[in-house]
């Protein structure tokens, strides 16, 4: 299994008052667990904090679900709307985002990340995990195999959520924690590295693996935000 030491700047887009704090447990699903790719399948075990190698990587991940679907956009384009109806009940075009509201409810931040992270799609890691998880992948989830494609596929999160606690529980021979989280690549590009940082018992409001935390302005004019909008084919709603 490939576990390597990381020491570098990372970014995050979160919520006030501090984007670097763990998500409050009150936001977990009714079964007591979060729904992120590397969150624990067993609710209440620990939380994860997702960070990116750049602000752009974070924004690409967050904005991807807002992309206009090509089929929906085409069908809406075929609908003829009477001027009176458009005036009384205007319909927002697909992919048009109220970016001022979106940024007002979020905070961007940078920090220094250190720790030992499992490079989950490395060949050594896949080979080590495959005997344990191949049955879940091919049987329970109907995937072709337990491989890098399965681990980067955004749909079968039950697979990565099952792998996550296995990595969280691993210990070295002396009993020390073996890895502090997962290093993985964005589904939107192999040049967008991401990390999931595991919470451990005794951690404070911010992971001890994150230091030199800082907040940065996030507005409609932020270059990385403009670039992410262009990448996903999104448009900013004009100011009134």
Q: Phi first, then psi: what are they for 218, rounded to 5°? A: -130, 110
Least confident of 27-31, 142-146, 148-152: 27-31
Mean pLDDT of the chain: 89
β-pairing verdict for 3-14 and 107-119: antiparallel
Query: Would you state the structure tokens that stand for residue 70, as one six-digit string?
Result: 């090509």
**Are the beta carbons of 145 and 129 closer than 8 angstroms?**
no
What percent of the chain stands above pLDDT 70? 90
Which pLDDT belongs to residue 238? 93
β-pairing verdict for 107-119 and 210-216: antiparallel
Asked if the bond preceding 99 is cis, omega within 30° of 0, the reply is no
Confidence of residue 172 (pLDDT cuts 50, 70, 90): confident
Alpha helix segments (H runs only) across the chain: 55-63, 70-77, 83-88, 99-104, 123-135, 148-152, 157-169, 223-232
Condensed to tens digits (0 to 9), the pLDDT of residues 33-92 reads 898 999 998 878 899 999 999 999 999 999 999 988 764 444 434 444 444 543 444 445
**Are the beta carbons of 39 and 48 closer than 8 angstroms?**
yes
- Rounded to whole angstroms, how far apart are CA atoms 16 and 42? 27
The average pLDDT across 133-160 equals 90
Which pLDDT belongs to residue 65? 92
Distances (CA, A) of 106 to 30, 59, 218: 24, 11, 8
Q: Is the pLDDT of residue 200 over 90?
A: yes
- Rounded to whole angstroms, how far apart are CA atoms 172 and 233? 46
The average pLDDT across 171-177 equals 85
- Start-to-end Cα distance in the chain: 54
Query: Would you state the structure tokens that stand for residue 55, as one six-digit string?
Result: 């602000």
- Rounded to whole angstroms, how far apart are CA atoms 65 and 198? 24
Confidence of residue 30 (pLDDT cuts 50, 70, 90): confident
Q: Is the pLDDT of residue 160 over 80?
A: yes
**Are the beta carbons of 210 and 113 closer than 8 angstroms?**
yes
What percent of the chain stands above pLDDT 90? 74
How crowded is residue 74: how many other Cβ atoms within 10 Å of its Cβ? 11
Query: Would you state the structure tokens that stand for residue 113, as one six-digit string?
Result: 């990340």
- Rounded to whole angstroms, how far apart are CA atoms 22 and 154? 22
How crowded is residue 22: how many other Cβ atoms within 10 Å of its Cβ? 17
């Amino acid at each position: 299994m490939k576990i390597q030491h990381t020491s570098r700047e990372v970014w995050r887009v979160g919520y006030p008052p501090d984007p670097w704090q763990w998500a409050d447990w009150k936001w977990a699903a009714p079964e007591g667990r979060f729904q992120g790719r590397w969150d624990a399948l067993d609710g209440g075990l620990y939380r994860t904090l997702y960070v990116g190698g750049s602000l752009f990587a974070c924004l690409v991940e967050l904005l991807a679900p807002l992309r206009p679907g090509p089929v929906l956009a085409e069908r809406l384009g075929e609908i003829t709307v009477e001027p009176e109806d458009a005036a009384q009940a205007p319909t927002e075009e697909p992919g048009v985002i109220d970016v001022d509201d979106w940024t007002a409810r979020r905070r961007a931040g940078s920090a220094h990340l250190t720790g030992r992270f499992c490079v989950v799609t490395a060949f050594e890691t896949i080979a080590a995990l495959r005997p344990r998880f191949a049955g879940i992948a091919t049987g329970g989830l109907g995937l072709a195999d337990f491989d890098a494609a399965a681990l980067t596929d955004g749909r079968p999160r039950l697979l990565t959520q099952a792998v996550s606690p296995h990595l969280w529980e691993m210990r070295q021979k002396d009993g020390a924690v073996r890895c502090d989280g997962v290093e993985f690549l964005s589904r939107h590009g192999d040049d967008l590295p991401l990390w999931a940082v595991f919470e451990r018992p005794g951690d404070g409001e911010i992971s001890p693996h994150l230091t030199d935390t800082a907040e940065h302005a996030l507005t409609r004019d932020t270059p990385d935000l403009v670039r992410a909008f262009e990448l996903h084919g999104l448009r900013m709603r004009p100011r009134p």
